[in-house]
A and B are shown apart, each in its own frame.
Chain A
Amino acid sequence: MPREIALADAFVPGLLLVFVACLLMLWVVDTIVGRFGLYRFVWHPPLFRLAIFVCMFGAAGLLLFR
């Protein structure tokens, strides 16, 4: 994946798109987890959510810049 992507002739950092994609993924994960109430087994749900997001974004970002 290129580091900068042209969207309608404007250069957008690829990382931004990855960020947005990760937000969407988090949203999907949240929907599934919320449906089954799994966050109740976690000590600090917001922290856990943030950690999941950091993992996803970190992994995707590293893949991008490999």
Chain B
Amino acid sequence: MSAVPGPSITKPARVPWLAAFLVEERAAWIFVAKTLLAMYITCWLAMLFQLEQPATAMITVAIVMHPQSGMVLAKSFYRAIGTLAGSLFGLALMSVFPQQRELFLLSLSLWVAICAGGATLYRNFAAYGFVLAGYTAAIVTLPAISDPLNVFDSAVMRVSEVLLGIIVSGVVSDLIFPERLREVLRRSAREHFAHFIDFARGSTGGSIARADMERAHMRFVRAAVQLEDLRASVIFEDPEARARSSRMRLLNLRYMAASTSFQSVHHLINRLERSRPDVAQALIALYSPIGKALSPGQGRDQDPGVLAPRLAECEDILPPMAAQLRTSLPPETWLEFDTGAGLLRRFASEMRDFTALEASLREGKLRGTVETVRFPRGNDFAGASISVLRTFLTMSALSVFWLMSGWPFGSSAMLLATIFSGLFGASAHPMSGIVNTMIGYASGMLAGYIVTFWLLPGGDGFTMLIIATMPLLMIGPYLSTRATLPGVGAGYTLGFVYILALKNPMVYDPTHFLNDAIAQIVGLGLTAVAFVFVPAVTGTQWQRRRQLGQLRRQVVLAATAPLEGLLYRFESVNRDLFHQIVSHTASGSPESRSLLAWALAVHECGRAVIELRRDIASSNVPHEVSVCAEEAVRAVAHLYQAPSKAYWLEADQAVERAIAATAGKLDLARSACQPTLHHLHLLRSALRDDESAMGPFIQLPPEPSHAS
């Protein structure tokens, strides 16, 4: 049904949907084959090494397998670390409280809860490592709770089983029909680069509609976060990518800086078109050399190796051209024009840095030292503490119930509840995820029942085991390749392998089977109950409000944090935060509009504030000017901390005062005051932009000429 899609791929014209279908099926079945192969090799090795539960090793394979090998290796890495940490903690805990069940369970609940909280603070698979560190401690200790001396063996077994599963699945996915994540990264990096360059070139005409700008911004943000996420997984797959890892980060940071400057330029031009069209036209004329540098033509428009030297040349053209354009304008608009020209120069030099780095990366040779760059993330600790609370309540309620009832299979239920409340803690729709998983889990157990009591007893040997289990087992991995059924496939595989509990020799005990099945379903159900009582915060209104507040506080960070490395920290936290909020809002909704408006305002103001602070710190600005500018920075930070009309007025006046002070000193120290003045001016024009998020707070300032 799937194996030979070859001829239809080469002739896609006849039945295009069939070709697409076959390509998709082919990928899916390769994945199924790889998963099954890895699972059976693991099972065979586990039996050969006489591990206690080959099922655990097989489950590890089922969990870690992913169509792309980079993902498998990254997930394996964190799974291994999490398992080791969890086992060590479990051992330590057991040796501290060998006799006191209550204290033991209390501290275990606390540990699992803290780990679940840690998981919500991290993106990628690092989160998964945290979840594992939590529930491995439970897995290792719970079965040995009535026999504390056993816990060491239990831990060694668990670690061996998991590591076996990890090694086999890593080797299988990396060696057999590997699908490279590197290709995905390269493709999307080139796409984003091309899109950015095209966008920058296409906007030579000057003004861009606010809505287009918002869409573009959204795409820039997605690109930055997506590239960073991919990079974090690709380094496990490809040593070459690992060697360039920090350079790729640097590229991403330059990309973010350039896109922010680009937006600032266009917002400024948009604003000027409304107030001073002649200045806007002059700036558009000044933009045209950049646009020209970006279009070498002859199909080389997206070749960074060609673009970088052209941009460097264009940087030399800009200052004389600016001086010439300036003379054609009336003197009272010079300040506005200079602000824009300064921004354009900054944009050109950032573009040059960005394209030059991209060119050197594509060239494939690494030169010079390797720089250390970080991509900090924006985290919300309140959300994490809610996750901690939920997991703690689930765990301790189950412990109490278990201790009071003396239910022999209580530990099974507890294990499942632990695992799933950790896994779903950070997801946006935990309820639907749990329900899907539960459906998959139950049907997997049903299939497991059929296999255990109808098919397996008749067979003998490993071949018969494969023949008996394969038909029903392969449903799981196949289902997990369907994007329409998230969670069902994984649940099915887990339920199937878990309840099958392959052993050598095999044990057939229907009572145990049914009791265990009931306990596991109860455990899963209890996870759902826990989410009803302490709902997930991801994607809720409450969290969005908090995140928006955090986004606004980014300006405060820009105004107060130490300058060293601040620009990159600001840019990447901004993007991460924004991406988190945006991924849970419907596009086009009023919410998302206001969010975008805020994001753009924060970006522009924050960047201007940082540049301003750099001016004050680096050059020999007169004392009076720096005092006024610092006050303006503080007032802007106040405004973003708690936006209101009063604070807006305060900020506007402070910026105005600083501009006046700087302009007064301009003749004394021109070289020092000029950039300060430009950045102050940019700040003022951003504050007074009535199309931005500042719109509702703007009050028309009383005209000074009418006063007194």
Q: Give the B-binding residues of A (Cβ under 8 A).
A: 10, 30-31, 33-37, 39-40, 44-47, 49-50
- Docked Cα-Cα span, A37 to B241, in Å, equals 9
**B240 adjacent to A50 (CB under 8 Å):** no
In the bound complex, what is the Cα–Cα distance between A22 and B175 (angstroms)? 19
**Is there contact, CB below 8 Å, between A30 and B175?**
no
Q: Which residue of A lies closest to B245 (CB)?
A: A34
A46 touches B242 (CB 8 A): no
Is B14's CB within 8 Å of the partner chain A?
Answer: no
Are B240 and A34 in contact (CB-based, < 8 A)?
A: yes
The winner among B175, B239, B241 for most chain A CB atoms within 10 A is B239
Bound: A50/B171 CA distance, A = 8
B321 sits at the interface (CB 8 A): no
Q: Which residues of B contact A45 (CB under 8 A)?
A: 238
Q: Is the CB of B239 within 8 A of A34?
A: yes
Q: In the complex, what residues of B have CB within 8 A of residue A39's CB?
A: 239-240
Which residues of chain A are within 8 angstroms of B241 by Cβ–Cβ distance?
A: 34
Q: Judging by beta carbons under 8 Å apart, are A34 and B243 in contact? A: yes
Complex: A37 Cα to B417 Cα, angstroms: 46
Residues of B within 8 A of A36 (CB): 366
Q: Answer yes or no: B598 CB below 8 A from chain A CBs.
A: no
Q: Does B471 contact A (CB under 8 A)?
A: no
23 contacts between A and B (CB under 8 A): A10-B152, A30-B239, A31-B239, A31-B243, A33-B239, A33-B240, A34-B239, A34-B241, A34-B242, A34-B243, A35-B243, A35-B366, A36-B366, A37-B240, A40-B240, A45-B238, A46-B69, A46-B174, A46-B175, A46-B178, A47-B175, A50-B171, A50-B175
Q: Is B623 an interface residue (CB 8 A)?
A: no
Contacts of A44 in B (CB 8 A): 175
From residue B530, how far is it (CB to closest CB) to chain A in Å? 36
- Residues of chain B in range 471-504 having any CB-CB distance to chain A below 8 Å: none
Verify if B590 is at the interface (C-beta below 8 Å from A): no
Least Cβ–Cβ distance between A9 and chain B, in angstroms: 10
Complex Cα–Cα for A30 and B174 (A): 15
B residues less than 8 Å from A31 (CB atoms): 239, 242-243
- A12 to B, closest residue via Cβ: B156
Closest 9 CB pairs of A and B: A34-B239, A34-B243, A30-B239, A46-B174, A35-B243, A34-B240, A46-B175, A34-B242, A37-B240
CB distance from B399 to the nearest CB of A (A): 28
Q: Which of B196-243 contact A (CB under 8 A)?
A: 238-243
Task: Report which residue of A31, A33, A37 has the largest number of chain B beta carbons within 10 angstroms of its beta carbon.
Answer: A37
**A35 vs B366: C-alpha distance when bound (angstroms):** 7
Instruction: Tell whether B706 is near chain A: CB-to-CB under 8 Å.
Output: no
Chain A residues within an 8 Å CB radius of B365: 37
Bound Cα distance from A45 to B70, whole angstroms: 14
Give chain B's interface residues, CB within 8 Å of chain A: 69, 152, 171, 174-175, 178, 238-244, 364-366
Contacts of A30 in B (CB 8 A): 239, 242
Question: Which residues of chain A have C-beta atoms less than 8 A from B364's C-beta?
Answer: 37
- Chain A residue with the shortest CB-CB distance to B73: A46
A37 to B69 alpha-carbon distance, docked (Å): 20
Contacts of B242 in A (CB 8 A): 30-31, 34
Q: Which residues of B contact A37 (CB under 8 A)?
A: 240, 364-365
Docked complex Cα distance between A10 and B95 (Å): 14
In the complex, which residues of chain B have a beta carbon less than 8 angstroms from the beta carbon of A34?
A: 238-244
- Cβ-closest chain A residue relative to B235: A34
Closest CB in chain B relative to A12 CB, distance in Å? 9
Cα separation A35 to B364 with both chains bound (whole Å): 10
Kindly state the separation between the CA atoms of A39 and B242 in the bound complex, as whole angstroms. Answer: 13
Complex CA distance for A46 and B238, rounded to whole angstroms: 9
* A-chain residues with CB within 8 Å of residue B366 when the two chains form the complex: 35-36
Other than the known A34-B242, A37-B365, what 8 A-B pairs have Cβ atoms closer than 8 Å? Answer: A31-B243, A33-B240, A34-B241, A35-B243, A39-B239, A46-B69, A46-B175, A47-B175
| Smallest beta-carbon distance B182→chain A, Å | 10
Roughly how many angstroms separate A51 CA and B285 CA in the complex, as a whole number?
60
> Residue of B at shortest CB range from A46?
B174
Chain A residues near B238 (CB-CB < 8 A): 34, 45
Distance from A49 Cβ to chain B, minimum over Cβ atoms (Å): 8
CB distance from A27 to the nearest CB of B (A): 9
**B447 CB to nearest chain A CB (Å):** 33
Give A47's nearest chain B residue, CB to CB: B175
Residues of chain A with a CB closer than 8 A to B171's CB = 50
CB of A52, distance to nearest CB on chain B (Å): 11
In the bound complex, how far is the Cα of B243 from the Cα of A37, in angstroms? 9
The CA-CA distance from A35 to B178 in the complex, in Å, is: 22
Question: Within the complex, what minimum Cβ distance (angstroms) separates A38 from chain B?
Answer: 9
In the complex, chain B residues whose CB is within 8 Å of the CB of A33: 239-240
A35 to B171 CA separation, bound complex (whole angstroms): 23
Taking CB atoms, residues of chain B closer than 8 Å to A49 are 239
What distance in Å separates the Cβ of A20 from its nearest Cβ neighbour in chain B?
11
Look across to chain A and name the residue whose beta carbon is closest to the beta carbon of B69.
A46
The chain B residue with its CB closest to the CB of A10 is B152
Min CB–CB distance B73 → chain A (angstroms): 10
Q: How far is the CB of B160 from chain A (nearest CB, A)?
A: 10
CA distance A33 to B242 in the complex (A): 10
Query: How far, in whole Å, are A31 and B242 apart by their CA atoms in the complex?
Result: 7
Q: Report A3 CB to chain B, min CB distance, Å.
A: 17
Residues of A within 8 A of B240 (CB): 33-34, 37, 39-40
Chain B residues, CB < 8 A from A35 = 243, 366
Q: How far is the CB of A23 from chain B (nearest CB, A)?
A: 10
Nearest CB on B from A6, distance (A): 14
A39 vs B240: C-alpha distance in the bound complex, in angstroms?
8
Expressed in whole angstroms, the minimum distance between the Cβ of A34 and any Cβ of chain B is: 3
Q: In the complex, what's the smallest C-beta–C-beta distance from B25 to chain A, in angstroms?
A: 25
Question: How far does the Cβ of B103 sit from chain A's closest Cβ, in whole Å?
Answer: 24
